Structure 1
């Protein structure tokens, strides 16, 4: 997850998506790796954690980088899944539907009473859009070094004096960056209506301007910043820091969902 590699991969993915009609097409159902947690306490109910990958690598990165094992070692009450949420699902605008239909609905039918989503890089963006498109279907969101759009929209918001003073103007999902930040602005005004959102990133991250801006919208105590950039090393450090800090209290009360802006 080197910063230069991410940028090159993202630009390549966008180029291919424009020039090759069926490249990166999302399959139905979405391919998913599943990790049963043998150490989860039976007394704490059935809970599920969905890992959303970034653009680089594959959906096995959470196992390969120890994130799955850290949950098991700590005896946290979560089974885990890692769908292959590659760029094609974003291009086709089908990621939210696939996560809902292929993972969340079956999980609820299997008796999972609490579902969290942890997204890294592009997966952080996917986690937020899942909440926007399917409000009330997840119980918590963890954003790890998330990609939240390009600098242009961030600079516009900063120039306006921050999210509270920024006026997004007319926006639909076609202008996904403005749509996303308009939702974040709405969230900032009433965060209690949304399941808890936690943010973690490296101080030298490639997308730190947007991450700093999102941090201003979150309630106090929901942001973790560590040394590092947009790398797997930072991802590992963020995850262990997050679990050490919040692991014992991952269960949160369910909140009334925030209505998504018009599509």
Structure 2
């Protein structure tokens, strides 16, 4: 498939007709099968809703040129609408979080919610800009040295966090994650009920623990 390295479906075993689609996007060095072997697919299937899971890995070059959102729209969002899904969520780990945010920035009307696990949304320099500005609300894109994809994501987050309509945001992160500074800046702007910080690093143990804690809060209703 053009722009997609790998894709795999995990239908919910429930016979329920009212179903939700959750697309899981991996970070660098993560295989799409890892979502199943590491237990995230099972956790999603344990939700009160029937949750069909699709794991999808876009070509990593798309994150550099800003093309990841269009490929996800063509691969996930359009087919989901055609299949009759009325509720679509995206889950992104690390770089996959950037993909989920990029897609929401362009096609947010077609996405109900995002689950961001240790998301990468900017380089250390970009996160330092956010911190020095005092957070998302005071950051100014015109003065930023961020890449165009980073500026688009942060600008969208800025307006969404200020109350603009858009997908729901849920964040899971860890105390010793190498991107922890950015995660905490984002967590400060979200309701405490929609953020989880666990003990750990940038690894599956922390991501699984964070996702389990978020799922216990019934993000899908």
The alignment's TM-score, normalised by the length of structure 1, stands at 0.76
**1:84 counterpart SS class:** strand
The 1-side partners of 2:151 and 2:9 are apart by 34
Q: Give the whole-Å Cα distance in 1 for the aligned partners of 2:65 and 2:141.
A: 25
Structure-1 residue corresponding to 2:201: 229
Equivalents in 1 of 2:15, 2:190: separation in Å? 29
Displacement of 1:93 in angstroms is 3.1
Does 2:15 correspond to 1:52? no
Where does residue 208 of structure 1 map in the other structure? Answer: 180
Structure 1 residues 173 and 34 mapped into 2: Cα distance closer, same or farther (>3 Å)? Answer: farther
C-alpha deviation, 1:157, in angstroms: 2.4
Do the aligned residues in 2 keep the contact of 1:118 with 1:127 (CA within 8 Å)?
A: yes
Local SS of the residue matching 2:108: coil
Cα distance change, pair 171–149 in 1 and its aligned pair in 2 (3 A): closer
* Matched-pair contact (CA < 8 Å) for 2:172–2:195: yes
Contact kept? 2:66, 2:148, Cα under 8 Å: no
User: d(CA) in 2 for partners of 1:152 and 1:139?
Assistant: 31
- Cα distance in 2, alignment partners of residues 199 and 38 from structure 1: 27
| Partner Cα separation in structure 2 for residue 178 and residue 194 of structure 1 | 18
Following superposition, the deviation at residue 135 of structure 1 comes to: 2.3
Query: Hey, what does 1:35 align to over in structure 2?
Result: 10
**Range that drifts further, 234-243 or 67-76:** 67-76
Residues 152, 163 of structure 1: alpha-carbon distance in 2 compared, 3 angstrom cutoff: same
**Which string of whole-angstrom CA distances, capped at 9 and with x for unpartnered residues, describes residues 60-95 of structure 1?**
110110111122244531111011224133234332
TM-score computed with the length of structure 2 as normaliser: 0.90
Contact 2:3–2:59 (CA<8 Å) still a contact in 1? no
Aligned to 2:49: 76
Q: Distance in 1 between matches of 2:112 and 2:28?
A: 24
State the SS of the aligned residue for 1:69.
helix
Q: Secondary structure at the match of 1:235?
A: helix
- Pick the aligned partner of 2:126 from 153, 159, 166: 153
Measured in 2, the distance between the counterparts of 1:78 and 1:132 equals 23
Say if 1:160 and 1:72 are closer, same or farther in 2 by CA, change over 3 A: closer
CA contact (8 A) 1:173 1:179 kept: no
Contact 2:8/2:54 (8 A) holds in 1: yes
User: Residues of 1 paired with 2:216 and 2:194: CA distance?
Assistant: 14
Segments of 5+ residues of structure 2 without an aligned counterpart are none
Unaligned runs of 5+ in 1: 1-26, 252-263
Is contact 1:115–1:138 with CA below 8 Å preserved after alignment? yes
Aligned residues: 220
Deviation string 1:165-204 (CA, Å, 9 cap, x unpaired) is: 333326799533233222222222115x112110110111
Residues 1:199 and 1:111: Cα distance change in structure 2 (over 3 Å): same
CA contact (8 A) 1:52 1:117 kept: yes
Is the strand fraction higher in 1 or 2?
2
If you compute each CA radius of gyration, which structure gives the higher value, 1 or 2?
Answer: 1
